[in-house]
Amino acid sequence: MMSRTSLLAIVLGLTWLCLEFCLCHDVLVLTVATERNDALHRFLRSCSLNGFSVKVLGEGMSWNGGNVASSVGGGQKVNLLKHELSNTVYPDDQLIIFVDSYDVVFMQTLEKLLEEYQKFESKVVFSAEEFCWPKADLKDLYPEVKPGEKRYLNSGGFIGPVSNLIKIVNHAPIKDDDDDQLYYTNIFLDSTLRKEYDIQLDKTSRIFQNLNGAFNDVELRFTDETGYLFNKVFSTTPVIAHGNGPIKVEFSSLSNYLAYSWTPSRGCQQCEENNIHLNDYTKQEYPLIVMGIFIEYPTPFIGKFFQRVAELSYPKSRIHIVGHRARTAKNQLSFIEHFNDTFGHEYLSINWLDEELSEEAARKRVFAHCLSVEDCKHVFVVDSIAQLTNPKTLDHLVKMNRSIIAPLLTRRGKAWSNFWGALGSDGFYTRSEDYMDIISYNTSGIWNVPLVRSAYLISRWAVRKLIDAKLGNEIDMNFAKEARDKNVFMFVDNQVEFGYLMNADNYTNDHLHNDLWQIFDNPQDWEEHYIQQEFFNFLKTEITMADVEQPCPDVFWFPLLTETFCKQLIEEMENFGEWSNGDNHDPRLEGGYENVPTRDIHMRQVDWEEHWQHVLGKYIYPIQKKLYEGYEDRPRARMNFVVRYRPEEQPSLRPHHDASSYTLNIGLNQPGKDYQDWEEHYIQQEFFNFLKTEITMADVEQPCPDVFWFPLLTETFCKQLIEEMENFGEWSNGDNHDPRLEGGYENVPTRDIHMRQVDWEEHWQHVLGKYIYPIQKKLYEGYEDRPRARMNFVVRYRPEEQPSLRPHHDASSYTLNIGLNQPGKDYQRTAKNQLSFIEHFNDTFGHEYLSINWLDEELSEEAARKRVFAHCLSVEDCKHVFVVDSIAQLTNPKTLDHLVKMNRSIIAPLLTRRGKAWSNFWGALGSDGFYTRSEDYMDIISYNTSGIWNVPLVRSAYLISRWAVRKLIDAKLGNEIDMNFAKEARDKNVFMFVDNQVEFGYLMNADNYTNDHLHNDLWQIFDNPQDWEEHYIQQEFFNFLKTEITMADVEQPCPDVFWFPLLTETFCKQLIEEMENFGEWSNGDNHDPRLEGGYENVPTRDIHMRQVDWEEHWQHVLGKYIYPIQKKLYEGYEDRPRARMNFVVRYRPEEQPSLRPHHDASSYTLNIGLNQPGKDYQGGGVRFNRYNCSIIDTRVGWVVMSPGRVTHLHEGLPTTKGTRYIFVTFVNP
- Residue 769 has what DSSP assignment? I
Summary mean pLDDT of the chain: 92
- Is 436 contained in some domain? no
Measured CA distances, 212 to 243, 246, 890, 1006 (Å): 6, 7, 79, 87
pLDDT score of 734: 86
Rounded Cα distance between 1030 and 1033, Å, is 6
Beta bridge partners of 948: 995
Among 767, 795, 823, residue at a domain's last position: 795
- Is 871 contained in some domain? yes
Pair 1096, 1218 in one domain: yes
Pair 253, 288 in one domain: no
| Beta-carbon count within 10 A of 705 CB | 5
Answer whether 0.75 is exceeded by the pTM: no
| Beta-carbon count within 10 A of 754 CB | 18
- Is 1177 contained in some domain? yes
Rounded Cα distance between 817 and 797, Å, is 14
CATH number of the CATH domain containing 462 = 3.90.550.10
Rounded Cα distance between 684 and 686, Å, is 5
Tell me the three state secondary structure of residue 221: strand
| Beta-carbon count within 10 A of 505 CB | 10
CATH number of the CATH domain containing 976 = 3.90.550.40
Among 747, 778, 795, residue at a domain's last position: 795
Beta bridge partners of 732: none
Which amino acid is residue 784, in one-letter code? E
- Is 809 contained in some domain? no
- Is 609 contained in some domain? yes
Rounded Cα distance between 1174 and 347, Å, is 10
Pair 638, 705 in one domain: no
pLDDT score of 1119: 94
| Beta-carbon count within 10 A of 464 CB | 12
Number of domains composing the chain = 6
367: CB partners within 8 A, 6+ apart:
379, 463, 466, 467
Rounded Cα distance between 600 and 588, Å, is 11
Pair 567, 487 in one domain: no
Which amino acid is residue 377, in one-letter code? K
Per-residue model confidence as pLDDT tens digits over 317-347: 999 999 999 999 998 999 999 999 999 999 9
- Is 940 contained in some domain? yes
Which amino acid is residue 394, in one-letter code? L
79: CB partners within 8 A, 6+ apart:
174, 176
Residue pair 951/941 in contact by the 8 Å Cβ criterion: no
The alpha carbon torsion through 618, 623, 626, 628 (nearest 10 deg) reads: -100
- Is 445 contained in some domain? no
pLDDT score of 1206: 66
CATH number of the CATH domain containing 1150 = 2.60.120.620
Residue pair 226/258 in contact by the 8 Å Cβ criterion: yes
Pair 1134, 1066 in one domain: yes
Beta bridge partners of 455: 382
Pair 979, 1052 in one domain: no
| Residues with pLDDT less than 70, the chain | 1-25, 70, 677, 807, 824-825, 827-833, 1206
Q: Helices H, strands E: what count in the chain?
A: 33, 60
Rounded Cα distance between 446 and 463, Å, is 20
Pair 263, 315 in one domain: no
pLDDT score of 36: 95
Pair 534, 612 in one domain: yes
Which is nearest to 1084 in space by CA: 1103, 1099, 1104, 1105?
1099
Tell me the three state secondary structure of residue 669: coil
- Is 651 contained in some domain? no
Length of the chain (residues): 1229
Pair 199, 307 in one domain: no
Pair 1097, 1028 in one domain: yes
Measured CA distances, 69 to 66, 104, 248, 698 (Å): 9, 14, 10, 103
Which amino acid is residue 579, in one-letter code? W
Tell me the three state secondary structure of residue 389: coil
Among 271, 303, 320, residue at a domain's last position: 271
Pair 335, 360 in one domain: yes
Cis-peptide, bond into residue 147, ω within 30° of zero = no
Q: What are phi and psi of 700, to 5 degrees?
A: -95, 130
The DSSP element (H or E) to which 242 belongs, if any, is strand 240-242
Q: Which domain holds residue 962?
A: 835-1003
Pair 142, 213 in one domain: yes
